[in-house]
Structure 1
Amino acid sequence: MCAIFKRDFKAYFQNVVGWLFIAVVYAIFGLFFYAFNMVQGSTDVSSAVGNMAFILMITAPILTMRSFSEDRKSKVEQLILTSPISIGKIVVAKFLAMFAVYTIDIVAMIIPTLILNVFGKTAIEQSMVAILGVWLYGGAFIAMGMFFSSLTESQVISAVLTFVFGFAGYMMASIISVIPSNLAFFTKILNALDLYTPLVNMLGGTFSVVSLVYYLSVIVLFCFFTTQAIQKRRWSVSSNKISTSVFSSSLIIAGVALVVVINMFVSAIPTTITSVDCTANKIYKITDVTKKFLGKLDTNIEIYVLNSEKTKDTTIDKTLDYYKSMSKKISVKYIDITSNPQFYAKYTDVAPSQNSLIVVSKDSKGKVLKSKVIDRSDIYEMSADESSYYGGQSKVTGYDAEGKLTSAIEYVSMDEKELPKAYILTGHDELPITGSFLTALEKANVTTAEINLLKEKSVPSDAKCVIINSPTSDLSKEDAQKINDYVNKGGKIIVTCNYTKQDLENFNSVLANVGVTPVKGVVYENDTNHIAQNSAAAILPQIVANDYTSSVANKYILMYASVGLGHKDSNDKISFDEFLKTSDKAVAKVNYESATTSKYEAGDTYGPFALGLEATKKVGSKKTAKAVVFGSYATLNEQIDQMVAGNNSEMFANTVKTLTESPKLSASTIKSKSYTLSPLTIPALKANICLIICSVILPLILLASGIAIWLVRRRK
């Protein structure tokens, strides 16, 4: 076996074929690597190696077409057939020789992948999994090409058959998608011929045992087919050595059946066991919070996916597999919207987009209790793609499937009365709460309603908290009193301040009721380690970890044009917890509009200042009121939040969750996961050098070596 392996492996480098294969494959990889990684700054090579899947359909036949066809044409095969070496060992040796040649390219692909680390943080694990996937995918192609080579003397026919069947396997998912749904059994058979979909999982950053077993099965199966095809000829050459039972249809059927059973068994194993998330930001990994919640789930949940299973979104499907594996109460069903376009009408009036989810809770008899729609556009976060050649295109930047799904399951599994309610004060030119902050409330399953106290006798009794977002005109004395009455009965409020020269006497009385007094002037920070955009008014405060800030304690919160928050000394009836602070170099500038410097001037107030604090007030013998106060109107500003990657909205979500005190909603504020790392910035000169080396110099050296060796051997 080793002798045949060495013979075939050397043979590929004693003529042009091996050199040509390695040179062409690596040159094309170099082009893709340059385009995706060096120019666009992608931090992993999955896109580059993913495109190699199509290229292999053209290049693999170059390698495999000679494997048995040449021996058969030159009559060398008869010597092999009558040798004492088993056919199985001969086939494996020849396969390994070709696979070793291909592996040289794979190893060479790893080198530029590692070089990317010089330019910044890269998704090295995801890249390695993608390369592993293409390695296995190529192995399956080589095994298939070897089989077709064993069927014919013609190298051309062998190459054409390899390309045709390889192309069919590459396109099988698309072929299956156009087959009517009533032919489900037929599509299941064709799924077994889908060579590309298992690779997609690994290109997405998931090491999948299912994909690994599938490709190994294909390799083993085609090696087995090749062995059987040659055994048939060997029997005809040397019938006295081999019985007719060696090559039989029943043996082939048994082999195929065994492979099918193995793959079915592996596919039935929970995804949590067979898949490892190797993405840079672990976008598929389910948090411990969700695991704990699903472990206690006692309501039957059915998740409808508005798409046929043949054209499903593989990323969402992978997440759903994790949910199913963690709770027996969860089931997933795909709805083919082409044959059932009005299915959504049972749950919503507006048609969701394709691949949207409908989460439904049911009682023991299957009756629908509650439902919630998750549109696909809410699962994927998009942003403008500045690297795109064409304008107006967008790219995926975030994946929020876990946050949306866990929130929806919580919502449908809870009684409406259990959901906390927050009222947003209006009527005093308050700033609106929009975007990610509303999304944070929705994910926390906190129902919201606007309230104008002019029309109400008091704050409604079902209010878990009241949000007062930077009123620019003063509250009436009556409105302020209603809020104070609510607080004095144990109510919770969230307040953001807005600096104005107008005296907001009644608004300030609400703060005074919880012992807080705004400091006059806009706070300027003079410690450059705690400012953004070189602006002393754009403060990155020191963060003290508590229930509101624990998840962002090692990140940044941005406060702009903030006022300082003074407060009384803590005593038996009221206490204060400052969780956002300035440095002692900060000053509050009263005349900030005419200020000539960010440092202290006459009339200013020295810091440090609290920019975020919690006031806890005892009311009666058992009740406790809470007020969380922020010094800046920009605390709940969408643009400011985007500048710190959503940390402000995450802190807001934590604050609402804590104040509403709903223990069943402990899993509702899971943050969206960034889809990729920050793009690499690579100088054009270095990118061009990489292109020339990978796609020009190295391939030319390889080709020149191959041609030189071929010429020398020809002259001999």
Structure 2
Amino acid sequence: MAEIRSQFGTRSSRVGSYSFILTAVVLAILITVNFALSFLPDSYAQADLTANQLYSISSQSKVMLSSLEDDITIYWIVAAGQEDEYVEKLLHNYEDYSSKVKVEKKDPDLNPDFTNAYTDEEIYNNSVIVECGDRYRYISYEEMYEVSSTDYYSMYSSADEFSGEKLITSAISYCTTEELPVVHVLEGHGEAELSTSFADAIETDNLETESLSLLNGESVPEDVECILINAPSTDISEEEKDMLIDFLEGGGRVLILSGTNTEDELPNLKAVAEYYGISVLEGVVVEESTDHYIFNMPVILMPEMGSSDITDPLINDNYHVIMPVAKALDVSEPDGDVTVTPLLTSSEDSFLKADGYNIETYEKEDGDTQGPLTLAALATKDIDDGNQMQLVWIASSVLLDEAYNQYSSDANEDFVLNALEMMCEKDDSVSVRSKSLTNEYLTVSTGSASLIKVVTIGVIPAIYLIVGIGVVVRRKRR
């Protein structure tokens, strides 16, 4: 016994005892801290290390949530054990960030009739209903994932993007907005139908659309504030031209997409723009600067963007508009009380091919107009009663084509949406992008692509070769 007691009294045993006690104390501290952290909101206790911040809400959503005055209830329709990881984390983030947001879980097996008051659509697990007072919006789980690829043999579809935050933030904004702005879409002249993607983007942006015909009227209806004219194939009448000018003179806003297409010359529609210092030049813009076109196609332009309320959000986020087959605009001679701002311009190496669709070469010829050339412009004029006339002309009929919009990572749609938001005076707009689950398109000009090829195929291998030869020569000399 004395021997055992003497062993515990040695220096090594005392050091061992101290180490054991210290380890126990550290473990106790870690357990206590971990237990305390479990009571903190996920946004404070966990870090989102995913490349696209899939488990976080964006700064735009946070700004909107910080300004909430009314209580928001988000009903999460999901059966036990069927919770989607992304949706669950996203909803917790909304609830953690704002005390005005409350998430309630509704099991469709236990509450089969709950959704009947909100929608008659088929209900999928992880669908969401956002409600504030008398306003609500149903978001189907299928809408949260954007699917664009399907394996032909297995028929298995894979989701490319997660749109949960974009849809929920839009729904909250919708539910807390009493009256939504309306964009009136002109019809009756063979206008191109809005793409499904752009129509969805308008709805998500909480803008409503209504059809507008001026064929049988004497003036633009008084409740119309913003008109969208999308790629008409035939001209407006002389009477419609006068109606649009009167509308603009009263502080109206008009956005026109019209460029090189199969349409006729559209003299009356062009006269509306000419009245405010924007003249449409016939032909097709061709780029010679490889930094300003893509896909080795000098008519698929990647124009420069001038600073404006429309373009600044894109410039700040380093996005590029892709503009296929465009005409040019002359904005050199506006009236004294009209201000014309170029929005998109080609490079100084570009030129306007006078032959238009009949061009046989991308080389500059006699009669072609040298750049830089304006491709989209904004005309404004202050009206006596404090209103402002706004006219935007975008000189491409296919800017909103879904393929080109996808190549631009939605920058084309955002460009047009920014213009509509400005025209509708939509100051509370919240633009949240879908989050990629795979890869996003990288918009690279032809010149940059060529440089990358030279560096990766030529320069880097050459460096390795030179270094290798040097090493071999040095070893032989030894």
Common fold, TM-score beyond 0.5? yes
- Shift, 1:302, TM fit: 0.5
| Separation in 2, partners of 1:501, 1:405 | 40
Q: Which runs of 5+ in 1 are unaligned?
A: 1-82, 94-219, 222-257, 363-368, 680-716
Q: Is the 8 A contact 2:229 2:256 kept in 1?
A: yes
Name the residue aligned to 2:86. 315
Instruction: Report if the CA contact (8 A) 1:426-1:452 is conserved.
Output: yes
The answer to whether structure 1 residue 400 and structure 2 residue 177 are counterparts is no
- The answer (yes or no) to whether the contact 1:407–1:443 under 8 Å persists in 2 is yes
- Read off the aligned partner of 2:353 and give its amino acid letter: K
Code of the residue aligned with 2:143 in structure 1: it is D
Deviation for aligned residue 1:273: 0.6
Identical residues among aligned pairs (%)? 30
Cα drift, residue 437 of structure 1: 1.3
Q: Could you say what secondary structure the match of 2:167 adopts?
A: helix
- Please give the residue correspondences for 1:402-551 in structure 2 after superposition, counting only pairs within 5 Å: 402-415=165-178, 418-499=179-260, 500=262, 502-551=264-313
> Contact (CA 8 Å) 2:185, 2:210: kept in 1 or not?
yes
Please state how far the C-alpha of 1:352 moved relative to its aligned partner.
3.4
Structure-2 residue corresponding to 1:612: 376
Q: Letter of the aligned partner of 1:426 in structure 2?
A: E
Q: CA deviation at 1:592?
A: 3.4
Output the CA distance in 2 between the equivalents of 1:274 and 1:466. 48
Q: Do the aligned partners of residues 455 and 326 (structure 1) sit closer, same or farther apart at CA in structure 2, a change above 3 Å counting?
A: farther
Residue matched to 1:639: 403
Shift of 1:305: 1.0
**Equivalence for 1:573:** 337
Q: Does the CA-based 8 Å contact 2:186-2:212 persist in structure 1?
A: yes
Match of 1:583 in 2: 347
Deviation at 1:517, TM superposition (A): 0.9
- Deviation of the 1:548 alpha carbon: 1.3
Q: How does 1:161-172 map to 2 (within 5 A)?
A: none
Displacement of 1:502: 2.2
1:603 aligned partner: 367
For the residues of structure 1 that align with 2:385 and 2:102, how far apart are their CA atoms? 48
Name whichever structure is richer in strand by fraction: 2
- In structure 1, C-alpha distance between the alignment counterparts of 2:152 and 2:249, rounded to whole Å: 60
Post-superposition shift, 1:286? Answer: 2.3
State the Cα deviation string for residues 334-387 of structure 1 (Å, max 9, x = none).
11112223322101122232211100113xxxxxx11101122222222215xx
Per-residue Cα deviation, 1:252-298 (whole angstroms, up to 9, x for no partner): xxxxxx97x97775333122211211111223332222212211101
Asked if the contact 2:276/2:334 (under 8 Å) is kept, the reply is no
The normalised TM-score by structure 2 is: 0.81
Q: TM-score, normalised by structure 1?
A: 0.55
Q: Which of 63, 66, 88 is the equivalent residue of 1:295?
A: 66
Distance 1:485 1:600, change over 3 A: same
Contact 1:281 1:676 in 2 (8 A): no
CA contact (8 A) 2:54 2:86 kept: no
- How many pairs are equivalent? 424
Find the aligned partners of 1:296 and 1:382 in 2 and give their Cα distance: 33
Which amino acid in 2 is paired with 1:336? Answer: D
What displacement does 1:392 show?
2.8
Contact 1:576 / 1:616 at 8 angstroms: preserved in 2?
A: yes
- Give, in whole Å, the separation in 1 of the partners of 2:324 and 2:124: 38
Unaligned residue ranges in structure 2 (runs of 5+): 1-12, 442-478
Cα 1:557–1:291 change in 2 (3 A) is same
Between 294-303 and 340-349, report the one with greater CA deviation. 340-349
User: What pairs up with 1:72-87 in 2 under 5 angstroms?
Assistant: none
The 5-angstrom pairing of residues 329-340 of structure 1 reads 329-340=100-111
Rg larger for: 1
Any idea what the Cα deviations from partners look like across 1:658-695, whole Å, max 9, x if unmatched? 221123x232x21212224469xxxxxxxxxxxxxxxx
Counterpart Cα distance in 2 of 1:614 and 1:662: 17
Q: What is the letter of the counterpart of residue 381 of structure 2?
A: K
Q: Deviations over 1:563-594 (max 9, x none)?
A: 10112435541011112100122222232344
What amino acid sits opposite 1:423 in the alignment?
Answer: H
Counterpart of 1:381 (choices 146, 153, 158) is: 146
Give the deviation of 1:456 after TM superposition. Answer: 4.1
- Counterparts of 1:277 and 1:344, CA distance in 2: 32
Q: Separation in 2 of the partners of 1:305 and 1:264?
A: 27
Structure with a larger share of its residues in helix: 1
8 Å CA contact 1:421–1:462 kept in 2: the answer is no
Residue 389 of structure 1 deviates from its aligned partner by 9.4
Q: Which whole-Å CA distance do the structure 1 matches of 2:332 and 2:388 have between them?
A: 17
Q: Distance in 2 between matches of 1:309 and 1:589?
A: 64
Aligned to 1:659: 423
1:510 offset after TM fit, Å? 1.9
Amino acid at match of 2:142: S
Distance in 1 of aligned mates of 2:402 and 2:293: 19
What is the CA-CA distance between 1:414 and the residue it aligns to?
1.7
- Please give the per-residue CA displacement for 1:26-60, whole angstroms capped at 9, x wherever unaligned: xxxxxxxxxxxxxxxxxxxxxxxxxxxxxxxxxxx
Q: What RMSD, in angstroms, separates the aligned Cα atoms of the two structures?
A: 2.9
* Distance in 1 separating the partners of 2:122 and 2:36: 38
What is the one-letter code of the residue matched to 2:406?
Q
| Contact kept in structure 2, 1:521 and 1:592, CA below 8 Å | yes
